[in-house]
Amino acid sequence: MSDAFPASTAALIDGKAFAAGLRAKVAIHAAAFEAQSGRKAGLAVVLVGEDPASQVYVRSKGKATVECGMASFEHRLPADTTQADLIALVDQLNADGAVDGILVQLPLPGHLDEQAVVERISPTKDVDGLTPVSTGRLALGLPGLVPCTPLGSLMLLKDRLGSLSGLNAVVIGRSILVGKPMAQLLLGESCTVTIAHSRTKDLPQVVRRADIVVAAVGRPEMVKADWIKPGATVIDVGINRLPPTETSPKGKLVGDVDFAGVREVAGAITPVPGGVGPMTIAVLLRNALVAAYRNAGLDAPSEL
């Protein structure tokens, strides 16, 4: 670090608190929706198989849905479910007037065609924002449902920085669930966007240009302090568990960013845990309620 930028400690971006605020807003509007439409907004979550991490996610999604006053429909199918049976369930949920949002937990067991299942979800119920229609609408700048983690990350950025117009943003990772939609959202805010990935040449040099860094690669503590422009805002989407040690017998949870080092250079940073993670479920609830309003032919409240 040069003398012009003496070491300082970055502000922490409190995703947990922001997510709690968003969930409270969803709860208020979910009650208003029920009063207006005569039914609860409903979210269906489909889990195939017994992946332990997915089971935890699905349980917490169902609990959060009920806590904010919406109806939760959980469908747990055995690991050997056929493609035809899974598609039949999606069709049934598409046709169900009590269901406003459908989330099929990914990854699916290897014998299932994930893309075909996702494409079957009605775009009006696509709370994950993963169907080709949702993806296309995002690229075109049209209203639609947007993937939860990138939308949550954008909410944190706008809360911290206000206008993002003209800022250099570097997204590290090009996944369908995070990297690509994140880049589209930042472009929509008039950032100059670079998508970096595993083949990018001189990644540290690319990241050093960024006013905004979004790390979504799934490599523990990859982004180092000397990659970061002093004062930059750093959003860490990674959730990685390190091997167990004596002091952390379950293995420490870390992001894709070397938090201890980067916080001495960045202007603001999301911690792991407690940063982007809590935003994902809060935005899922928000997306389900927005879908409910639109499916009922009503305008969704602008503060959502």
Write out the catalytic residue numbers.
61, 105, 128
Q: Are 275 and 52 in contact (CB under 8 A)?
A: no
Q: Is there binding between residue 65 and ligand GUN (CB under 6 A)?
A: no
CB burial readout 126-141, b (16+ within 10 A) else e = bbbbbbebbbebbeee
176 lies in the site for ligand GUN, by CB under 6 A: no
126 binds ligand GUN (CB under 6 A): no
Under the binding rule (CB under 6 A), the answer on residue 105 touching ligand GUN is yes
Q: Is 43 in the site for ligand GUN (CB under 6 A)?
A: no
Task: Give me the helix-helix angle, 15-37 and 277-295, nearest 10°.
Answer: 20
Stretch that binds ligand GUN, among 13-21, 98-106, 179-187, 208-216 (CB under 6 A): 98-106
193 DSSP β-pair partners: 169
Q: Closest distance between ligand GUN and the C-beta of residue 88, in Å?
A: 19
* Binding-site member from 27, 77, 87, 106 for ligand GUN (CB under 6 A): 106
Q: Of 8-16, 102-110, 136-144, 179-187, which part binds ligand GUN (CB under 6 A)?
A: 102-110
Phi, psi angle pair for 18, to nearest 5°: -60, -40
Q: How far is the CB of 103 from ligand GUN (least distance, A)?
A: 5
Q: What angle do CA 292, 67, 39 make, to 5 degrees?
A: 35
Q: What is the phi/psi pair of residue 10, to 5°?
A: -65, 150
Nearer to ligand GUN, 33 or 57 (CB): 57
Whether 123 and 101 have beta carbons less than 8 Å apart is answered as no
Question: Among 172, 177, 272, 279, which residue sits at the site for ligand GUN (rule: CB under 6 A)?
Answer: 177
In whole angstroms, how far apart are CA 173 and each of 81, 104, 121, 257?
31, 22, 25, 13
Residue number of the CB atom closest to ligand GUN: 106
Using CB under 6 A as the binding rule, whether residue 44 contacts ligand GUN is answered as: no
128 scored as a contact of ligand GUN (CB under 6 A): yes
| Least distance to ligand GUN, CB of residue 303, Å | 23
Residue 196 β-bridge partners: 172
Q: Specify which residues 44 forms β-bridges with.
A: 73, 102
Per-residue contact flags (x/-) with ligand GUN for residues 138 to 167, judged by CB under 6 A:
----------xx------------------
- 126 versus 221: smaller Cβ distance to ligand GUN: 126
In the bound state with ligand GUN, the residue whose beta carbon lies nearer, of 41 and 177, is 177
Does the protein bind ligand GUN through residue 103 (CB under 6 A)? yes
Q: Is 72 helix (H, G, I), strand (E, B) or coil?
A: strand
Name the DSSP letter for residue 79: T
The 10 Å Cβ neighbour count of residue 64 is 20
User: Which residues contact ligand GUN (rule: CB under 6 A)?
Assistant: 103-106, 128, 148-149, 177
